[in-house]
Structure 1
Amino acid sequence: MDFLAETALLTHGLRSISNEELRSAWTVSRPCLAWVERGTLRVGTMEEYLPFRSRGEEVGRIDCEHLEDALKSGASGALTASGTMAACHRLGVFLAVSCGIGGIGDIRGEELCPDLPALVRYPVALLATAPKDMLDVPATFGWLWQHGVHVAGSECTGYLFHSTCVALDEGLAGYGTAEAVRRAAERGLLLLRPIPEEERIADLSILHAAISAGKQAEALGSYYHPAANGEIDRRTGGESSRMQLRSFLANVQAALELN
C-alpha cells in the first residue's frame, strides 16, 4: 500500500455521479480509498467503499485536525486531503491522492485550510489537481513556500476555471518514481496535475454563484465545499462532476504508475 486516496470528493462533491457510474469508471483493484467508519480507519476497494458513499448525507468530512477524535469517539466520515495525509502517516504510507485542495481564503474555519499545515506536519507527499478556484491561490502557494514545502507541476492557472496564474517551482519530471517522491516527502512535497485548460469552465459567473452558495451553506452551519461544488454541478449540467472525476482518476493512475 504505497498511496491512499481521499474520499471527501467522492462522497460529497460529485453530485451528478451515481454509484454505478463511479463503479464503472473505477479500474483500480487494490484497496486505496480511505475513510472512517464508526471509529475505524478503513482502507478499501471501490466495492467496499460504495455502501459508505450511499450514506453520504449521514456522514461528515474529517480533516487531519479531527481524525484522532473521530477514531476515539466512534464517528464516521469521509477523509479530506489532510485527513488522508494523517491516515497515511498512521499507516506508514508516503503518498496521498486528492483532486481540488484547500488553501488560504475566507471560508469559515478554513482561513488556513488544514491541507496546508498537513504538508508541513507529515512526511507524506500530496498528489492533487490544484487549489480550488474560490481561494487566494497566490497566498496559498506563498504560505507553502514560506514553510518550506516544494510545489511541482506546470504553471497553476486554476482548478475548474481559469481563475489565476502562478508559476511553480519546477515540473514533475523529477518525480517519476516512488523513491523520488518518498525522499522529497520528508521535506514537504505537493505535486499538481492540472485539468487541461481547454476542458475547464469558461463562464466565471458560475464561480461567483458557487461562492455565494457556499457562503449561504456556511451561514446555515453546513459545509461550504459541497454546496459550492453542487452549484457548479447544477449550472454545468453535471459536467463539473465529470471533470473532477476524470481528474481524480488521472491522479490515482499517476500514483499507480509510481509503484
Structure 2
Amino acid sequence: MISPVLSDDVAAALADGAPVVALESTIFSHLGLPSPNNREALDRCLSAIVDGGAVPAVTAVLDGVPRVGLSADEHARILGPARKAAERDLAVAIGQGWAFGATTVSASVALAAHAGVSVFATGGIGGVHRGAELTGDISADLDAMAHHPVITVSAGAKAFLDLPRTLEYLETVGVPVLGWRHDDFPAFYTRSSGVPVPHRVESADEVAAILAARSRDRSGMLVAVPIPEGDALDADTLDGVLAQALTDADAAGIGGAAVTPFVLGRIGEATAGESVPANLALAENNARVAAEIAVAVAGRAG
C-alpha cells in the first residue's frame, strides 16, 4: 500500500481539517509546458490556490518517495527532465527509486486519495481515444476517478479524444460529471465540445454536497470548468488543426501516449503560440475553482 510523504504544511492542514488542493507534476516538468512557461504555470497555480484560502499539494515521486506537497526549495526539481508516472507506474517508480516521476492525473488522484486530500486540480484529463473500439486506448485517468474519492477539477478533456465516448465511459463507471456554471462539456482550449454535461452546478457548496451524498464512498467525481472566455482558442481553427494532426499521426504510426504531445505540438505551431497562454490560463482558473471547492468541502466536514 502506498503511503505518501506529506510536506509539513500539507500535513498540518489535513490535521486541522483545512482545505488542500492536490496538483499533478507532469504539466510543470519538461513533459508538459516548455521552459519558462512551466515555471509560470507552477507559480500561477500555487498562487491561485493560496489566494483561494487553501494549501497547494504538488504530487510527485522524488528519489523513489511518493510525495504529496513539496517545499519551495524542491520546486526546481520538478521543472526539469522527468519520467512520466501514471497510477500503474507508481509502484515501479517507488521500487526502482526514480529520481523524478512526474505524476499524471491518475497517479495524482491516487496519491491524493491515499493522503486524504479530497480535491485535485489539473489542466485536462485523458479519456477515450478515437478508434478505441479497435485499439482499446482508454486513459487510466477515468479508472482512477472511478476508484478514488477525489474531486477532479479540469477543463474537460483534450479535444482530440472521443469526447462523447469519454462521457459515456464515465457514466458506465459511475463518475458524476458536473459542468461548472456551464451546460456543455469543455474541450480544453475551447469552452464547448458541443456535448452537454449530465449536470450543471453553480457553486462550490453544491459540489461539496454532491460529494457527501454519493452512493460509493470510494469513488470520485469530475467538475468540468470551461476555459475563461477571453483565453479560449478559435474553435473552427482548432478543429481543422486537430483533424489534420490526427490524420498525420495515424499515417506516421503514432499511437497511445505519443499522440498527445504530437497533437499539442501541432496546435502550438498552428496557433502561433497562442495555445501556451491558453494552457496557462485554464490551469490557473482550474486551480482557483478547486480552491473554492476545497474550502466548501472542508467547511462541510468541519
Same structural fold, with TM-score higher than 0.5 when normalized by the shorter chain: yes
Structure 1 CA distance, aligned partners of 2:173 and 2:25? Answer: 27
Deviation of the 1:140 alpha carbon: 0.6
Please say if 1:256 is aligned against 2:256: no
- Identify the match of residue 223 of structure 2 among 191, 198, 204: 191
Q: Distance in 2 between matches of 1:169 and 1:92?
A: 27
Residue 8 of structure 1: aligned partner = 26
- Deviation larger for 112-121 or 205-214: 205-214
Question: What is the match of residue 37 of structure 2?
Answer: 18
Note closer, same or farther for the CA distance 1:19–1:191 as it changes in structure 2 (3 Å cut): closer
Please identify the structure whose Cα radius of gyration is greater: 2
Contact 2:28 2:39 in 1 (8 A): no
Would you say the 8 A contact 1:3–1:95 is kept in 2?
Answer: yes
Aligned to 1:143: 169
Q: Where does residue 102 of structure 1 map in the other structure?
A: 126
Deviation at 1:150, TM superposition (A): 0.6
Measured at CA, do residues 220 and 149 of structure 1 come closer, stay the same or move farther in structure 2, by a change above 3 Å? closer
Q: 2:70 aligns with which of 39, 44, 53?
A: 44
Question: Is the contact made by 2:190 and 2:227 (CA closer than 8 Å) also made in structure 1?
Answer: no
Instruction: Return the offset for 1:106.
Output: 4.5
Q: Distance in 2 between matches of 1:201 and 1:50?
A: 34
One-letter code of the match for 2:65?
T
Q: How many residues align?
A: 256
Residue of structure 2 equivalent to 1:62: 85
**In structure 2, distance between residues paired with 1:220 and 1:179:** 38
Say if 1:39 and 1:73, in contact at 8 Å, map to a contact too.
yes
- Matched to 2:76, the amino acid is L
Q: Indicate the larger mover: 65-74 or 139-148.
A: 65-74
For residue 32 of structure 1, give the secondary structure of its aligned residue in structure 2.
strand
Name the CA shift for 1:191/1:163 in 2 (closer, same or farther; >3 Å). Answer: closer
CA distance 1:100–1:214, change in 2 (3 Å): farther
Two-structure CA RMSD over aligned residues (Å)? 3.0
Kindly indicate whether the alpha-carbon contact (under 8 Å) linking 1:130 and 1:193 is maintained by their aligned counterparts in 2: yes
Q: From the superposition, tell whether residues 172 and 241 of structure 1 become closer, same or farther in structure 2 (CA, over 3 Å).
A: same
Q: Deviation digits for residues 75-106 of structure 1, max 9, x if unmatched?
A: 22211111110111221111221111111114
Shift of 1:200: 2.1
Q: Tell me how far 1:49 sits from its aligned partner.
A: 2.2
State the one-letter code of the partner of 2:21.
Answer: F
Q: CA shift at 1:172, angstroms? A: 2.2
Q: After superposition, where does 1:185-224 map in structure 2 within 5 Å?
A: 186=217, 187-196=219-228, 199-202=232-235, 203=237, 204-212=239-247, 219=254, 223-224=258-259
Letter of the 1:71 partner, please give it. Answer: I
- In the alignment, which residue of structure 1 is the partner of 2:5? none
Instruction: Give the counterpart letter for 1:13 in structure 2.
Output: G
Residue 176 of structure 1 pairs with residue 205 of structure 2: yes
Q: How far is the alpha carbon of 1:135 from its aligned partner?
A: 0.8
Q: Which amino acid aligns with 1:235?
A: A
Unaligned runs of 5+ in 2: 1-9, 11-19, 296-302
> Which residue is 2:7 aligned to?
none
- Distance in structure 2 (CA, Å) of the matches to 1:82 and 1:107: 22
Residues 115-171 of structure 1: CA deviation (Å, up to 9, x unaligned): 111111111121111111111100110111122111100211522247732111221
**CA offset at residue 226 of structure 1?**
2.3
Displacement after TM superposition at 1:60 (Å): 2.0
C-alpha distance in 2 between matches for 1:60 and 1:110: 24
What amino acid is the match of 1:141?
A: L
| Residues in 2 aligned to 1:106 and 1:221: alpha-carbon distance in whole angstroms | 11
TM-score by length of 2: 0.73
User: Does the C-alpha gap of structure 1 residues 19 and 104 become closer, same or farther in structure 2, counting only changes over 3 Å?
Assistant: closer
- 1:164 matched to 2:190: no
